Amino acid sequence: MAEWAIETHELTKRYGYRSVLSGVDLCVKPGEFLVLFGPNGAGKSTLIRILCTLMKPSGGTAKVGGYDIAEDPDRVRANIGLIGHSSYLYEDLTAVENMRFYLRMRGVDAIERRLAEALQLTGLERAQSNQVRTFSTA
């Protein structure tokens, strides 16, 4: 097991002359929680995007689960999950279409079996053909 769940050293992100992240150093142990808060434009989403390998930093280093985000992004993505304020689902697709899409993106084997299991676990069996936009957000 990695010593740190998340580790950054001098992590920076710049857009031209504008610095969004400036020398971020983090050490989060496995099992610990990290809460990011601050005003709009403080760099919270940018930091998350970098740690999830959705954006490259301008400088510094970062590891997630012991894997370097630049050297091993596939392993980083395979070992993380993100819960944000948006669902990240495609509203025009059905529940099962969204699930199938994300399983394929993650390279999961036996997709149809895994789909059936996930639908049962989440209680979405009866709603699997409904478009996500019809689901309650409450």
Domain edges within the chain: 6-78, 95-134
Residue 81 DSSP SS3: coil
Residue where the block lists tokens 């400088």: 59
Rounded-to-integer distance, Cα 25 and Cα 96, Å? 40
Q: How far apart are CA 12 and CA 1, in angstroms?
A: 27
Q: For domain 6-78, give the CATH number.
A: 3.40.50.300
Q: Is the full-model pTM beyond 0.75?
A: no
Cβ atoms of residues 66 and 19 within 8 Å: no
Dist CA 38 CA 40 (whole Å): 7
Tens of pLDDT, residues 87-138: 778 889 998 998 889 888 888 889 999 999 988 998 888 888 989 888 876 5
